[in-house]
Structure 1
Amino acid sequence: MSVVNAGTKGYNFKYADLATLMNHVNKELHVNVRFRSDRDGDMWTQSTVICDENWNETTPPLCEMPVIVVVKKGMTQDDAFYAGVTKARRYSLMGALGIAATEDVELLSNSLKRDTGELSSDSEAKHRVDGILNELAIPKGRESQFISERLRQNVDYAHLTEAQARRFIEWHEQWKKSQTKQTSKENTNE
């Protein structure tokens, strides 16, 4: 595990800021990374993608973190949003590359939370995902890989979140529309 000095102080705690982390990643770990932003309804997430020396992505998005917006005294809504983006990027980067800060006491648990938990086995979204997997005849044990490839991020089917399920369902709806258009086009050409 790589360790970074938590030298930035704000709101009465110390933390490793994004600039310090990026400097460590570039100079000590010699890794190129970029961040990916995804939006699902009103839920924004940040994830880390590792790149080669030509900035081609070599991993799917790693360590997806929610953007949690907390408006503190003196902040505008935009300030709060970008602070949330930066915080999500810091934690995504630290998780993706196994970086620890010497004194990072600003934990996600100190912030307001969104429900990003796993789907319950009786949820409607879980039933829809299972129905799609059955419809497409995805073999047992291959669900995670199949969903991961469609969402372009690592997904654990056994721990599927509501946001991941919604994105997979949306992918399926778009895919079905494209299949219908393709079939219609082929029938017109005959």
Structure 2
Amino acid sequence: MNKEQLIALGLTEEQVNKVIEGYGTTIPKSRFDEVNNTKNQLETDLASRDKQLEELKKVDAAGLQTKITELQQENADAKTKYESDLKEAQLSSAIKLALVGKVHDADIATTLLDKALIELDTEGKVTKGLDEQLKTLQESKPFLFVPEKKEQTFKGWVPNESTSDKDNPLDIGSNFAKEANSKGSPAEKALNPWG
């Protein structure tokens, strides 16, 4: 309220001046609300912290440390298993690639090999241990392996070259066709076997 409004309410000039002087020492409503809300929020936060502290008092620190140790061990075991599985998959793939074209079924042959004796290089190719095992396996179970292809040789009679026509490089078939053409075309009846 201002000075005129206070005078309109029936206060004297002296009373209005005292009210205005006192008004300067009062806190505005917006500032009061701000401070009041902050106080209420702090009280709520304090109650929440007290509740969390009570919950933490109930927790067993030794039990937590044991649980953390168990989880660390499980993570280490999972990592070791992953690395082992990855190495196994790389080894199996390398063996199967090396067996392509040599065996009928690479899966069966792979199960019969001792993978611990087989070594891979950095590129994932088999370096040693496979050839020796394959030789032994081929002797004991030859049915697993694809037979090696040998060059085929044809056996039989080789026709002699014609001695009568040395200047003519044509073969017997060409000579026969030439002879048939030189006699002329056969009669119509000769072409028809029925009649």
**What TM-score, normalized by structure 1, do the two folds share?**
0.17
Higher helix share goes to which structure?
A: 2
- Larger Rg belongs to: 2
- Higher relative CO (Cα under 8 Å, sequence separation at least 6) belongs to 1
